Amino acid sequence: MLASLFSTLGPWSWWIFGIVLLAAELLAPGVFLVWIGLAAIIIGALSLLLWEAAFWAWQLQLVLFAGLAIVLAFAGRRFYSDKGESDQPLLNRRGESLVGRTATLHEPIREGRGRIHLDDTWWPVIGPDLPAGTRVRVISAEGRDVRVEAA
């Protein structure tokens, strides 16, 4: 059945298959079917050139298609992979974004715990015992707490 399909459609069967895969990528995006569709179109282009050659059997075409699809999928993954940090690396790490900032203690730090107000949030702080009103600098973030020292 597969051999008769290849002989009936000729090299255009690869083009049709490639276009169907590219259309399927539009319906279910994931940037995966693009590479398989591209491999089918490349095999179709080779088939246009080599269709009459004795060695260009449908079995060889399938093997080359499978190999090319794998190579293109890995190359595409490498090309489109995440290339480094975001332009806002602390976007979802709010406590870490406070490191280096200074604030005034709202509550004194007693037994290592206190509170400051930065931006629109009250932050629990950890640090040396200090009276209320002291300027402190945030030196690190530890979960929801920030560690401070006298500024």
For the structural domain made of 94-150, what CATH number should be given? 2.40.50.140
Residues of the chain with pLDDT under 70: 1-3, 5-9, 82-86, 89-91
Q: For residues 14 and 51, give the distance between their C-alpha atoms in angstroms, rounded to a whole number.
A: 12
Which residues neighbour 140 within 8 Å (Cβ) at sequence distance 6 or greater?
99, 146, 147
Q: What pLDDT is attached to residue 28?
A: 83
Eight-state DSSP code of residue 101: -
**Residue with token string 């030196």:** 139
Q: What pLDDT is attached to residue 20?
A: 94
Question: For the whole model, what pTM was predicted?
Answer: 0.53
Amino acid at 113: R
Given a contact cutoff of 8 angstroms between Cβ atoms, the answer to whether 95 and 77 are in contact is no
Eight-state DSSP code of residue 115: E
Q: What pLDDT is attached to residue 23?
A: 93
The domain spans of the chain are: 2-80, 94-150
| DSSP β-bridge partners for residue 113 | 110, 126
Which residues neighbour 28 within 8 Å (Cβ) at sequence distance 6 or greater?
none
Q: What pLDDT is attached to residue 142?
A: 85
